[in-house]
Amino acid sequence: MKYILTFLFFLLFTNGIFAKGGSGTYFITGKVFVQTKTILKNIELKIKIGIITKTIKTDEYGNYEIEIPWESACPSGRTKEQNKRDNKRINVKYIYFSYLNKKIKLFNEWKKYAQLFPESKEKITRKQDLNFI
């Protein structure tokens, strides 16, 4: 019985070590402008992240903030190419911002901010002003 329990503990412990997949969020913040460099205050923006659409509102200074989810596939027992393909499948390539009939497409930089235990919110925040031309 003691050997069985030791074996089970070892099996569970080693699976925990090798399972390196994870998930989290990062933030995108900045100011919103129109072509004339006029700050858009207290307006609603639509954000599309994959199949999810969110509506956020800028503040009285034209600032916005959006939380972007990310996931990382577990690489255990997978080639680098398989893992890369899995990560590409579960994380969208672009994030779309729209205001009225204008759109902005941003590359999803999730890998740059993918930290399971970030030191601070600033470490996982991307600064990006939006200029709707």
Q: What is the pTM of this model?
A: 0.79
Q: Which residue has better confidence, 64 or 116?
A: 64
Confidence of residue 99 (pLDDT cuts 50, 70, 90): very high
Buried b (16+ CB within 10 A) or exposed e, 83-118: beebbeeebbeebebbbeeeebeeebebeebbeeee
| CA-CA-CA-CA torsion sign (3, 9, 11, 17) | negative
104 bridge partner residues: 97
- The yes-or-no verdict on residue 88 having pLDDT over 60 is yes
Max Cα distance, the chain (Å): 76
Phi-psi region of 7 (alpha: psi -120 to 50; beta: other; left: phi over 0): alpha
**Poorest-pLDDT segment among 12-16, 50-54, 74-78, 115-119:** 12-16
Q: How many CB atoms lie within 10 A of CB 60?
A: 8
Q: Which residue has better confidence, 67 or 19?
A: 67
What value does the mean pLDDT take over residues 94-123? 92
Q: How many CB atoms lie within 10 A of CB 22?
A: 14
For residue 20, give both structure tokens: 């390196």
- The yes-or-no verdict on residue 115 having pLDDT over 90 is no
Confidence of residue 4 (pLDDT cuts 50, 70, 90): low
Confidence of residue 132 (pLDDT cuts 50, 70, 90): very high
- The yes-or-no verdict on residue 118 having pLDDT over 50 is yes
